[in-house]
Homo-oligomer: A and B are copies of this chain.
Amino acid sequence: MSTQPLEFWFEFASTYSYPAAMRIETLAGRAGVAIAWRPFLLGPIFQAQGWNDSPFNLYPAKGRYMWRDLERLCEKHGLPYARPTIFPQRSIFAARLALAAIDEPWLPALVRGIYVANFAEGADLSAPDTLTRVLEGLGQTPAAWLDRAQSQPVKDALRANTEGAQALGVFGAPTFLAQGEVFWGGDRLEDALAWQLRHA
């Protein structure tokens, strides 16, 4: 098999995607592995499983544990953290923005900026101000990118990604695809990278 990039399937509302999104560029860079960034929406996938909310809200014991676990993970990896007031966030605009900028060299920084806004700064991802501020922080012109994020090709690309995730058997985020192998969960990032290197 020829070497494909490591695919990183993520959802901006997903708690465990946050540490993964913050860590992946450094770890993959160190390993010499290219990343394909794949923003998608978990909502339709959860709905197909009969859930109309995050399982962390539907199953309170699991939710309570997750918030404490996320806090510990952020401490372990030296990441800023403040429990969001909104969960899950309405992440569709953020996901479209990431797809609008998918070929830009500052995409990884944009992704991290959006996650920090969600999981460290208590921002509302559905508020245009939030994405504007993140884009400004990267020295980009917000209006142009926010317009492009609302274009039909970008909307179609997000729908295609979400269908692609479903076709891949994705049922949660983050998910990694390493040379045909699916790894689920931020705690599998190292395993996915090791698999990628071993099967390149």
Contact = CB atoms under 8 A, between A and B. Distances in A.
Interface in A82-106: none
Contacts of A61: 49, 169-171
A68 B178 CA distance: 14
A65 B184 contact: yes
Nearest to A195: B72
Nearest to A45: B61
Contact of A182 (B49, B59, B68, B172): B68
Interface of A: 49, 59, 61-62, 64-65, 68-69, 72, 76, 169-172, 181-185, 187-188, 191
23 contacts: A49-B59, A49-B61, A59-B171, A61-B169, A61-B170, A61-B171, A62-B171, A62-B172, A64-B169, A65-B169, A65-B171, A65-B182, A65-B184, A68-B181, A68-B182, A69-B183, A69-B184, A72-B181, A72-B191, A76-B191, A185-B187, A187-B187, A187-B188
